[in-house]
Amino acid sequence: MPKAPPFSGPGAVDVALEVNGDAVTVHVPPHRTLLDTLRETLGLTGAKRVCDEGACGACTVLLDGEPVYSCLTLAVACAGRSVRTVEGLSTDGLHPVQQAFIDHDAFQCGFCTPGQIMSCVALLERNASPTAEDVLRAVSGNLCRCGAYPNIVAAALSAAKKQARR
Amino acid sequence: MSIKVVRTKSEFEGQISEETALVDGRDLSAWTPDDELAIVGKDIKRVDGIARVTGRARYTQDLYLPGMLHVRMLRSPYPRARVQRVDASRALALAGVRGVLHRFNAPKAAFRGEETIFREEVRFAGDEVAAIAADSEEAAAEAVRLIDVDYEVLPFVPDLEEAMRDEAVRLEEKGNVSESGKYERGDAKRALAESTTVVEATYRTSTQLHNSLETHGAVASWDGDELTVWESTQHVFGVRAGLQAALKIPYRDIRVLCDYMGGGFGSKGGAGKYSIVAAIFARQLGKPVRCFLTRDEENLAAGNRSATLQQIRIGARGKRIHAIEHLSWSNSGQGRWVADPTGPTNGLYDIPNVRTRSYKVVTSLGALSSFRAPGYVEGTFALDQAIDELADRIGEDPLALRRKHAARQRDPQTGMRYSLKRLLACYDVGAKEIGWRHRGPEGARGSAPYRKRGYGMASQLWGGSGLPPAYATVHLNPDGTAVLRCGTQDIGTGTRTVLAQIVAEELGIDIGDVRVELGDTNSQYAPISAGSLTVASVGPAVRLAGKDARSQLLEAASGLLEVGPSELRVERGAIVSKGRRTPIGEVLGQVDNYTVIGKGSRFPNPEGLSLKTFGAHFAQVEVDVRTGEVFVEHVVAVHDIGRVINPLTAASQVEGGVIQGLGFALGEERIVDRPTGRVVNGNLEGYKIPTVRDVPKITVRFIDDPDTKANNLGAKGLGEPPIIPLPAAVANAVANAIGVRIRTAPITRQRVLEALELQSLQRTRPEAAMRKG
């Protein structure tokens, strides 16, 4: 469970957090989601708003390394914590998961892709040699309407193998 | 170059139309199977891959302009009502609210044959009543709740079969049911009477919701008289036409843009009410305005695949199909058109006697819109099951029965020869890959005593020939890199990549040196990205633009290198002359900044030939007879689409179609509460689309035989084909596994259990089964 956030209301408050390695402070009302804060306040539009109710996973980001639905996470609950989004993966060339998504054609329209990638990155960070079953579990909360699923699973497994070889 | 007028017959989603188009110059003959191509036909990774995996791809939803206002709609809670009074004073008093539009204050704006966006009579729960523009989406949503409306509630009818009854509430003066298609060949009624075996069955399919992940929406911004609209669309030119009709401003002043878009599947064909409302507010309030539907709104007001009721009578004489009669009714909601489920019955199998009728039924629900192979998915679900039912009755293998009616090389509907038809090859490949020889008439024991295994298959017919008009230009820069500009869009199908391949191949440069700019009405026209027509419409024009650029480049190089043009060729970014390679940039660099501009247009389809795509899906399933759950274990999808430009992205397209078909077959069903007429599962929680867990082993095969008579690429479309036969193939496999047929899609556990219960009653207590059935 998150620690009690160090702010006082009512109304908008300053929330300090780390986003993709940078310390940022945002001024947000207590009901503002992390997703809307990332997209509208910080201009990080990789995470997508699709269902806005935790059913699709297109808004998945990492909070202290754990994948979360940012549409169900309040910005104030992220005070003092570290958020990673798809934009933070490729500071030094593509992340192996991103490269594997390209190699395996693991997207079509690409709208669910940032969320799928973040779920796979989180998996690989806690399990360097996942099985196909592990991948299925990791991305089972990420919907893809184009049906890129077989290639997404192949991409995650291949990224894991490549990482293991390095 | 010279401009010529051409008239051509074209097919779009099963409808044939006469087109007049302008073409420029002369067409090229098609690449033949013997031509050695360097880039076309290869597994090329998507050219926009990096943008899509890094989050840099900018979708319309991602656009936040400075000072932008947000719109939310007030939608009718009633399926039919008269809007008598709208009082927005409480809404306007809220902080951050900038404007309201409703039927009493909105300017006239034509939309799909009506004069206004906000109707006096709202006709489905979700119909637009008012719109609010505010500084934030939150404020707009809050304000919507504060609008007071007086409704006079009117009688309604939300259900297809209820609306068909004589005593049903009449939603239109002429009645709820109207004929939307008819076709006959031979004499089906007489032929059915003289058939030795006749099967009669009723099939039903449910309303399927697109649920594109990016909802419908637009951002509008004015600069003086000039309007720019960014829209998540399959047709920027369609949006432009819709805006012109609504706002009465010249094309000069409208620019529509769509760079990346998050899925459409047929539903994003033109301007929506949201686009027009955004444009009106933006002009009134002098700020950019964004109007995006929420997920729930998307599932009420942005289209759907019609539910159908279909009756088939099919007769055999001996071991051949002698006649078929197919009647179909589709729930169009408030749609002004309807898709035709009898298309496959009319044109797929060579059956001598055919009679079909299709009917549009209006109901108090949101309008249908095209959904990936509209009509054909629903129709094939009924047709290919009926064929299996007949095969079972006459004791024939269902694949063997189809073969007898699939071999002919003439279109049974028009009598014209096909440009190319490899349906039998699809059957051969599919049967081998699935292991059709394991199929018995009774199904088999599965991986557990309570699991039954079965096999099924179905055929696919679709157009996919493409059509004019479509245009493209290639700008070859002085450094040897090129920019392709084309008014088409990449809706996730890989259009950017495929077009880059064609340019690189024809122009003779590396694919990495081609940049593709799509989705901009400041380019020349390209058709809607729908109907499986993009590659076959736009691709040939792009090839000609590449060819034109190459010819001009060679002429320029001839002058600069002082070598006859016939002794020069372009290869991998260099001009090659007598074994000497000079990079294009070096040659063009000898003159000051000259950009070669190549132009290409789409020429008409050949006359007197029928251009179609074919395919077959085979499914192996297991059914748990305790729970009714269907496990699809293996799907083999074989398609005959002419030349495959990019096997990597084409395979993805097929897998996606199969998976969307699985949703239709096994899970997806819009539920409407009949007493209130409201959709109760208009969200991704209650409406179940397939997840990664629902995906079987999928084997994709292409016949990959270029259709050299079709167009200069030899390629046809692939968007729709891979969803068409899947539901019928699965339904046939389920029937084979459990010995009882589920004639309603989706084949849910409840429907399987009910059918099994009826089957067991029929065995033990036939009279009780009669009453229940």
Q: What is the pLDDT of residues B273-285, one digit of tens each?
A: 999 999 999 999 9
Torsion of CA B691, B694, B697, B701, to 10 degrees: -60
What residues of chain B lie within 8 A of the CB of A114, using their CB?
53, 55
Q: Flag if A102 and B690 touch (Cβ within 8 Å).
A: no
Q: What is the pLDDT of residues B72-84, one digit of tens each?
A: 999 999 999 999 9
**pLDDT of amino acid A4:** 54
Q: Would you tell me which residues 488-527 of chain B have a C-beta closer than 8 angstroms to some C-beta of chain A?
A: 491-494
ipTM confidence: 0.96
Q: Is the pLDDT of residue B229 over 60?
A: yes
Is-contact B567 B577, C-beta < 8 A?
Answer: yes
Q: Is B615 on the interface with A (CB under 8 A)?
A: no
Tokens matching residue B297 = 């709104």
| Residue percentage of chain B with pLDDT more than 90 | 94
Distance CA B216, CA B212 (A): 8
Rounded to the nearest angstrom, the minimum Cα separation between B459 and chain A is 21
Longest dimension (CA), chain A: 52
Alpha helices per DSSP H over B596-717:
647-666
Q: What is the pLDDT of residues A127-165, one digit of tens each?
A: 999 999 999 999 999 999 999 999 999 999 999 999 888
Q: How many CB pairs under 8 A join A and B?
A: 158
Rounded to the nearest angstrom, the minimum Cα separation between B209 and chain A is 11
What residues of chain B lie within 8 A of the CB of A107, using their CB?
49, 52-53, 492
Q: Which residues pair with B178 in a beta bridge?
A: B360
Q: Flag if B692 and A153 touch (Cβ within 8 Å).
A: yes
Q: Is B265 on the interface with A (CB under 8 A)?
A: yes
Residue B16 pLDDT class (50, 70, 90 cuts): confident
Q: What is the pLDDT of residues B32-47, one digit of tens each?
A: 999 999 999 999 999 9
Distance CA B256, CA B219 (A): 10
Nearest residue of B to residue A33 by CA position?
B138
Rounded to the nearest angstrom, the minimum Cα separation between A90 and chain B is 7
Distance CA A39, CA B295 (A): 18
Is-contact B755 B772, C-beta < 8 A?
Answer: no
Contacts of B577 (CB under 8 A, 6+ apart): B561, B563, B567, B568
Q: What is the pairing mode between strands B81-87 and B121-122? A: antiparallel
Exposure of A73 in the CB half-sphere (CA atoms within 13 A): 27
Q: Is the pLDDT of residue A6 over 60?
A: no
- A146, A149, A153, A157, best to mutate vs chain B, most B CBs in 10 Å: A146
Q: Flag if A94 and B50 touch (Cβ within 8 Å).
A: yes
Q: Which of B728, B737, B120, B170 lies closest to B458, judged by CA?
A: B728
Identify which of A55, A85, A136 has the shortest CB distance to residue B693: A136
Q: How far is CA B719 from the centre of its chain?
A: 7
Question: A149-165 and A132-139 helices cross at what angle (nearest 10)?
Answer: 120
Q: Output the 3-class SS for chain A.
A: CCCCCCCCCCCCEEEEEEECCEEEEEEECCCCEHHHHHHHHCCCCCCCCCCCCCCCCCCEEEECCEEEEHHHCEHHHHCCCEEECHHHCCECECCHHHHHHHHCCCCCCCCCHHHHHHHHHHHHHHCCCCCHHHHHHHHCCCCCCCCCHHHHHHHHHHHHHHHHHC
Q: Is the dihedral of CA B491, B494, B496, B502 positive or negative?
A: negative
Mean pLDDT of chain B: 96
Q: What is the pLDDT of residues B290-345, one digit of tens each?
A: 999 999 999 999 999 999 999 999 999 999 999 999 999 999 999 999 999 999 99
Per-residue pLDDT, averaged over A73-80, amounts to: 97
Q: Is B173 a catalytic residue?
A: no
What residues of chain A lie within 8 A of the CB of B215, using their CB?
50
Q: What is the pLDDT of residues B645-704, one digit of tens each?
A: 999 999 999 999 999 999 999 999 999 999 999 999 999 999 999 999 999 999 999 999
**pLDDT of amino acid B767:** 80
Per-residue pLDDT, averaged over B207-221, amounts to: 98
Identify which of B53, B214, B693 has the shortest CB distance to residue A140: B693
Q: Would you tell me which residues 26-65 of chain B have a C-beta closer than 8 angstroms to some C-beta of chain A?
A: 45-46, 48-50, 52-59, 61-62, 64
What residues of chain B lie within 8 A of the CB of A116, using their CB?
none
What residues of chain A lie within 8 A of the CB of B682, using their CB?
none
Per-residue pLDDT, averaged over A68-83, amounts to: 97
Higher pLDDT, B565 or B489: B489
**pLDDT of amino acid A5:** 54
Residue A7 pLDDT class (50, 70, 90 cuts): low
Rounded to the nearest angstrom, the minimum Cα separation between B260 and chain A is 8
Identify which of A46, A142, A152 has the shortest CB distance to residue B55: A46
The radius of gyration of chain A from alpha carbons, rounded to an integer in Å, stands at 16
Nearest residue of B to residue A96 by CA position?
B53
Q: Flag if A103 and B659 touch (Cβ within 8 Å).
A: no
Eight-state DSSP code of residue B759: H
What residues of chain B lie within 8 A of the CB of A58, using their CB?
213
**pLDDT of amino acid B1:** 60
Identify which of B57, B59, B684 has the shortest CB distance to residue A56: B684
| B718 residue type, one letter | L
Q: What is the pLDDT of residues B467-495, one digit of tens each?
A: 999 999 999 999 999 999 999 999 999 99
Q: What is the pLDDT of residues B142-200, one digit of tens each?
A: 999 999 999 999 999 999 999 999 999 999 999 999 999 999 999 999 999 999 999 99
Distance CA A29, CA A20 (A): 22
Longest dimension (CA), chain B: 95
Residue A9 pLDDT class (50, 70, 90 cuts): low
Identify which of A86, A98, A102 has the shortest CB distance to residue B45: A102
Q: What is the pLDDT of residues B633-644, one digit of tens each?
A: 999 999 999 999
Active-site pick, B179, B622, B720, B757: B720
In the β-sheet with B81-87, what is the strand arrangement from edge to edge?
A: B121-122, B81-87, B148-153
Nearest residue of A to residue B696 by CA position?
A150
Alpha helices per DSSP H over B1-88:
49-54
Q: Is the pLDDT of residue B370 over 90?
A: yes
Is-contact A104 A96, C-beta < 8 A?
Answer: no
Q: Is the pLDDT of residue B347 over 90?
A: yes
Q: Is B692 on the interface with A (CB under 8 A)?
A: yes
For chain B, helix, strand, coil in percent to 5 are 30, 30, 40
For B72, the enclosing helix (H) or strand (E) is strand B69-75
What residues of chain B lie within 8 A of the CB of A33, using their CB?
none
Nearest residue of A to residue B493 by CA position?
A108
Kindly report the length of chain A. 166
Residue B17 pLDDT class (50, 70, 90 cuts): confident
| B546 residue type, one letter | G
Identify which of A51, A85, A109 has the shortest CB distance to residue B261: A109
Identify which of B62, B211, B262 has the shortest CB distance to residue A109: B262
Identify which of B62, B491, B690 has the shortest CB distance to residue A45: B62
Nearest residue of A to residue B691 by CA position?
A143
What residues of chain B lie within 8 A of the CB of A138, using their CB?
none
**pLDDT of amino acid A47:** 98
Q: Flag if B64 and A43 touch (Cβ within 8 Å).
A: yes
Q: Flag if B684 and A143 touch (Cβ within 8 Å).
A: yes
Q: Flag if A49 and B61 touch (Cβ within 8 Å).
A: yes
Distance CA A147, CA B267 (A): 17
Q: Flag if A102 and B53 touch (Cβ within 8 Å).
A: yes
Identify which of B53, B61, B648 has the shortest CB distance to residue A113: B53
Distance CA B316, CA B542 (A): 48
Count of C-beta atoms within a 10 Å radius of residue B398 = 24
Distance CA B337, CA B330 (A): 10
Distance CA B81, CA B652 (A): 45
What residues of chain B lie within 8 A of the CB of A94, using their CB?
50, 53-54
Distance CA B138, CA B132 (A): 11
Tally: H helices and E strands in chain B:
19, 34
Nearest residue of B to residue A101 by CA position?
B53
Q: Is the pLDDT of residue B286 over 70?
A: yes
Q: How far is CA A28 from the centre of its chain?
A: 20
Q: Which residues pair with A19 in a beta bridge?
A: A22, A83
Is-contact B400 B593, C-beta < 8 A?
Answer: no
Residue B768 pLDDT class (50, 70, 90 cuts): confident
In the β-sheet with B613-624, what is the strand arrangement from edge to edge?
A: B444-445, B451-462, B613-624, B630-640, B697-702
Per-residue pLDDT, averaged over B234-260, amounts to: 97
Nearest residue of A to residue B297 by CA position?
A51
**pLDDT of amino acid B763:** 87
Rounded to the nearest angstrom, the minimum Cα separation between A97 and chain B is 9
**pLDDT of amino acid A163:** 87
Nearest residue of B to residue A118 by CA position?
B53
Residue A8 pLDDT class (50, 70, 90 cuts): low
**pLDDT of amino acid B597:** 97
Q: What is the pLDDT of residues B529-560, one digit of tens each?
A: 999 999 999 999 999 999 999 999 999 999 99
Q: Flag if A145 and B213 touch (Cβ within 8 Å).
A: yes
Residue A3 pLDDT class (50, 70, 90 cuts): low
Contacts of A35 (CB under 8 A, 6+ apart): A47, A49, A52, A59, A70, A71, A73
Q: Flag if A101 and B62 touch (Cβ within 8 Å).
A: no
